[in-house]
């Protein structure tokens, strides 16, 4: 059996594509001997290494737009940040009290230590804690405090942690870039546009609920509450756009420094950060692109990796 060390990059909801990539690798007969991941890559990789990816996929595939909004704990009328307590409590329950050293394969989650300005590689200790630290997007998701360290998303310094996979004894290193400047398949693009339109009504209803809640607790006028809500949503979007742009640039440097044997490219415009209700479509996209890239790799067509 062909063996690989798998690197899963950072990229918010685009990270659902990692599930499809893993499914394609399994179908083609590859054995994953180790995983290194950042942010959503650390999350998906952790569930796979813990033998819980099927449970995760089944759950996320049922999430609706409103389900996601209820889970992310938006403090929209204060700081505009995401607390994340609900979602991480649920993920922790799904994973159980498993430690990284107990996983079936070597696993590394990459976070950033803001206090000491360096990368932190988690390859031991509680899995849930490592995932949470790796997923804490600066100014969007609350950071994790561990001792004298303030830990945030690994994408600040290393959105595609290829170096963390080198020690794994495998035939090849495969990496998944979630920030690639490649086009969306035509069918997927049409589906994305249709889904966005269908969620507008849900969004308007949710705005009304949040606004009314703000009025009752804070004694604010509807217009004032709506204005604050809109401002904080816009602020979150701008902050993540800045972070995402930085990650895309850093990813290219990491690829140049540590060229993987196969680079699977997921379109940067496939979904936006908060579209966690689009799991099924994104998983399928990851599967389709990975399958094409893997077949090209097996034929020695290095220039076609992940291209559409």
Q: Residue 20, Cα to own-chain centre: how many angstroms? A: 13
Q: d(Cα 279, Cα 20) in Å, to the nearest integer?
A: 10
- In the numeric block, the tokens 């020690």 are attached to 167
- Burial of 146 from C-beta contacts in 10 A (0-12 / 13-18 / 19+): middle
Is the Cα dihedral 161, 140, 273, 22 positive or negative? positive
Tell me if 53 sits within 8 A of 47, measured CB to CB: yes
- Under DSSP, the state recorded for 220 is -
Phi then psi for 194, rounded to 5 degrees? -65, -40
Tell me if 56 sits within 8 A of 63, measured CB to CB: no
- Bridge partners for 7 per DSSP: 36, 175
Provide CB contacts within 8 A for 49, sequence distance 6+.
Answer: 35, 103, 104, 105, 107, 127
The reply to whether 153 belongs to the active site is yes
Exactly one of 39, 134, 188, 270 is catalytic; which is it? 39
Helix (H, G, I), strand (E, B) or coil at 77: coil
Provide CB contacts within 8 A for 256, sequence distance 6+.
Answer: none
Phi then psi for 85, rounded to 5 degrees? -65, -40
- Burial of 191 from C-beta contacts in 10 A (0-12 / 13-18 / 19+): middle
The reply to whether 67 belongs to the active site is no
Q: Work out the angle at residue 2's Cα, subtended by the Cα atoms of residues 253 and 306, and round it to the nearest 5 degrees.
A: 40
Exactly one of 113, 153, 177, 244 is catalytic; which is it? 153
- The catalytic residues are 39, 153
């Amino acid at each position: 059996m062909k063996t690989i060390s798998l690197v899963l990059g950072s990229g918010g909801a685009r990270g659902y594509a990692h599930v499809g990539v893993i499914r394609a690798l399994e179908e083609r007969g590859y054995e994953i001997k180790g995983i290194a991941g950042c942010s959503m890559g650390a999350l998906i990789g952790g569930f796979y290494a813990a033998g819980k990816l099927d449970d995760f996929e089944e759950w996320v595939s049922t999430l609706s737009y409103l389900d996601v909004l209820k889970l992310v704990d938006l403090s929209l009328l204060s700081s505009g940040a995401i607390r994340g307590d609900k979602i991480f409590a649920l993920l922790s329950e799904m994973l159980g009290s498993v430690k990284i050293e107990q996983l079936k394969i070597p696993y590394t989650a990459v976070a950033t230590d803001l206090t000491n300005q360096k990368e932190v590689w988690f390859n031991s200790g509680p899995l849930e804690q490592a995932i949470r630290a790796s997923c804490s997007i600066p100014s969007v998701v609350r950071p994790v405090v561990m001792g004298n360290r303030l830990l945030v998303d690994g994408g600040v310094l290393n959105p595609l942690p290829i170096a963390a996979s080198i020690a794994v004894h495998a035939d090849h290193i495969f990496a998944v870039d979630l920030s690639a400047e490649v086009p969306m398949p035509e069918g997927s693009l049409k589906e994305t546009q249709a889904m966005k339109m269908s969620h507008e009504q849900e969004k308007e209803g949710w705005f009304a609920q949040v606004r009314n809640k703000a009025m009752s607790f804070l004694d604010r006028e509807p217009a004032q509450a709506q204005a604050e809500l809109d401002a904080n949503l816009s602020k979150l979007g701008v902050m993540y756009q800045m972070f995402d742009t930085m990650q895309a640039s850093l990813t290219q440097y990491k690829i140049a420094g540590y060229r993987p044997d196969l680079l699977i490219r997921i379109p940067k415009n496939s979904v936006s950060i908060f579209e966690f209700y689009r799991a099924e479509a994104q998983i399928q996209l990851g599967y389709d692109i990975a399958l094409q890239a893997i077949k090209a790799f097996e034929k020695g067509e290095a220039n076609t990796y992940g291209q559409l």
